[in-house]
Amino acid sequence: MSVEVRIDPGRIARALRLRNGVVGRRLAERTARTARIAEREAPGSMGDYITWKVENGPRGLQGVIVCDHPATRYVLDGTRPHIIRPRRAKALRFQAGGRTVFAAYAHHPGTRANNFLGRALREGA
């Protein structure tokens, strides 16, 4: 008694590219888990701006996580020390030591890079 199994590589490749197929569902689970980690690791309200999706890429399905917060680049890369000047007024106004302070400019010490997306990717993998 013999058994013959034929595999159509084109059919398997098409099945692997389907978003609602086994591979697509598993990729969606992992992408969603990584996005949840990124939301938890993000500073302030930045986690509210994180979205994810599974889409067809140049080499098949890919999970994409996006953070649309306007300051995302500054948080991921950090900033160098810089001077802050007023844009629409003659002076800056801010609270320092419980007092209201007015200044023509302020020296910002810069910020350390916080690559929360990279940490989420490593932890989610």
Helix (H) or strand (E) holding 94: strand 92-96
Tokens of 96: 């320092």
Mean pLDDT of 68-76: 94
CA within 13 Å, CB half, 6: 3
Going by C-alpha positions, the residue among 68, 76, 65 that lies closest to residue 114 is: 76
Please, are residues 93 and 100 in contact by the beta-carbon 8 Å criterion?
A: yes
The model scores a pTM over 0.85: no
pLDDT, position 59: 78
Summarize pLDDT for 81-104 with one digit per residue, the tens: 999 999 999 999 999 899 999 999
Q: What is the pLDDT of residue 29?
A: 93
For 24-43, b/e burial (b = at least 16 CB within 10 A) is beebbeebbbbbebbbebbe
